[in-house]
Amino acid sequence: MESLNLTTKILVYNYEESTEAIKKLINEAKSATKRAYAPYSNFHVGAAILLSNGEIISGNNQENAAYPSGLCAERVTVFHANAQYPDVAVETIAVAACNSEGEFTANPCSPCGGCRQVLLEVENRYNRPIKVILYGENKIYELESAKALLPVGFGADSLFD
C-alpha cells in the first residue's frame, strides 16, 4: 500500500492587493452577475475569462425550472469562449457570486465539480494552466491552475485505449 499526499497552494489577498489586470477581470465577473438568470436560487454567479489573445469573455449562470437544465457561469463562459475562439487558450478565469440584491459573497465561491472538470479539460486541451481567481468581499483566492481545484481529475488518459 502507498499513500498519495496532495497539496494545493492558494494565494489569499484582498481586492486592493490585486494587480490591475486581476481587478479588471474581477470587475467583469462582478458585472456579469447582474445579467444572470437565477429566479429560483437567487444566487447570481458571474465569470470572466482572459484569453491568450487579450480578449475578455464574460458569462453568468442560467437557471431553468427543470434544475438540471440550467448551466453554471463558469461553463457558460468557457463554452462561449471556445465557440468564438476555438484555437485560443484560456489564461485566467475570475468568478464572483452575489444574491439578488447585488450583495457579493463575503468569501470566495468555488466552482462546482462539473465546472472543475470542464476547466481541467480546457487546461488539457491547450496544454497550459488556467489561473483561477475566486472573488469574495473579504478575500480573494488565487490558484495557479484548474488542476489545483481537481487534482485527481478525469481526462483522456483515464479512458480505455
The CA–CA distances, whole Å, from 137 to 32, 69, 70, 105, 120 equal: 16, 30, 26, 6, 26
pLDDT at position 55: 98
Answer whether residue 137 is part of any domain.
Answer: yes
Listed residue (110, 143, 147, 109) closest to 11, CA to CA: 143
Answer whether residue 160 is part of any domain.
Answer: no
Q: What is the pLDDT of residues 115-158, one digit of tens each?
A: 999 999 999 999 999 999 999 999 999 999 999 999 988 888 88
| 107: CATH | 3.40.140.10
Listed residue (60, 71, 72, 74) closest to 32, CA to CA: 60
Answer whether residue 113 is part of any domain.
Answer: yes
Answer whether residue 78 is part of any domain.
Answer: yes
pLDDT at position 161: 62
Domain of 19, in residue numbers: 11-151
Measured CA to CA, the distance from residue 129 to residue 141 in angstroms comes to 16
Q: Name residues of the chain where pLDDT drops below 50.
A: none
Answer whether residue 161 is part of any domain.
Answer: no
pLDDT at position 160: 73
Residues involved in catalysis: 74
Q: Answer left, alpha or beta for residue 95, where phi above 0 means left and psi between -120 and 50 means alpha.
A: beta
Q: Which three cell numbers stand for residue 47?
A: 465569470
Answer whether residue 97 is part of any domain.
Answer: yes
Strand partners, 92: 50, 131
For the chain, the domain total comes to: 1
- Chain centroid to CA 27: how far? 14
